[in-house]
């Protein structure tokens, strides 16, 4: 279902710093803009409450996940809160196995082909290419030439509506969007405007 959601729209919203009282309204405008995967990093205020609010308030075709998941214990807490996707900045095998055992979708962070192959061997559904600022389209193209056919690489870090095309041309099927989409203190209208700009840019490329 994760790959299916990304087929609908390859953009993942990363809401670092989201507060629980904002979660419902922000989730609604993202869904209306076309987002079908929303991630709340665990270093946000009371992230499990926000995850629960998003899961309870959005349609079933929108997957809710947690980012910056660092331990197997956190995997269980995410699942208990209704989260469906585990996103990691790294590729720790213990966390990968815990997420797989819990029946959750898995997007570990990778920065080398060695990490990418190891994560796929542990059952990763998609790979988070992080930080994308350090690894441009040439890296993506080289990786995709050797990774198994159908591997989904999602660059995260520094992605704007203006720089997506070079990555898409290299074979990218989606992106994770952080501070370019949402920052703490932004209004719902500001988030809606940025979400619409990203989706318009994505749709123009696909």
Beta carbons within 10 angstroms of residue 114's beta carbon: 10
The SS3 call for residue 158 is coil
Choose, from 22, 79, 128, 173, the residue flagged as catalytic: 128
Burial-class residue 178 by CB neighbours within 10 Å (0-12, 13-18, 19+). Answer: buried
Comparing C-alpha atoms, which of 34, 61, 165 is closest to residue 155?
165
DSSP letter for 129, please: E
Task: Clarify whether 115 is annotated catalytic.
Answer: no
Q: Is 39 a catalytic residue?
A: yes
Sheet holding 63-67, edge to edge: 105-107, 85-87, 63-67, 37-41, 11-14, 175-177
HSE toward the beta carbon, residue 82, CA cutoff 13 A: 19
Residue located via tokens 């992106």: 175
Q: What is the C-alpha separation between 176 and 52, in angstroms, rounded?
A: 21
Q: Which of 39, 100, 133, 183 is catalytic?
A: 39
Name the residues annotated as catalytic: 39, 128
């Amino acid at each position: 279902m994760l790959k299916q959601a990304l087929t609908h729209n390859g953009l993942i919203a990363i809401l670092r710093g989201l507060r629980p009282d904002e979660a419902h309204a922000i989730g609604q405008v993202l869904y209306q803009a076309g987002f079908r995967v929303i991630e709340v990093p665990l270093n946000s205020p009371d992230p499990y409450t926000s995850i629960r609010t998003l899961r309870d308030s959005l349609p079933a075709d929108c997957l809710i996940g947690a980012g910056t998941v660092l331990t197997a214990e956190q995997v269980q807490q995410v699942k208990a809160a209704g989260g469906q996707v585990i996103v990691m900045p790294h590729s720790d095998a213990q966390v990968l196995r815990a997420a797989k055992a819990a029946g959750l979708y898995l997007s570990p962070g990778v920065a080398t082909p060695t990490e990418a192959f190891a994560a796929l061997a542990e059952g990763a559904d998609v790979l988070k290419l992080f930080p994308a600022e350090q690894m441009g389209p040439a890296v993506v193209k080289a990786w995709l030439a050797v990774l198994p056919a159908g591997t989904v690489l999602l660059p995260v870090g520094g992605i704007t509506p203006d720089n997506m095309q070079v990555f898409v041309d290299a074979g990218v099927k989606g992106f994770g969007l952080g501070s370019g989409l949402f920052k703490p203190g932004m209004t719902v209208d500001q988030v809606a405007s940025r979400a619409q700009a990203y989706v318009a840019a994505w749709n123009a490329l696909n």
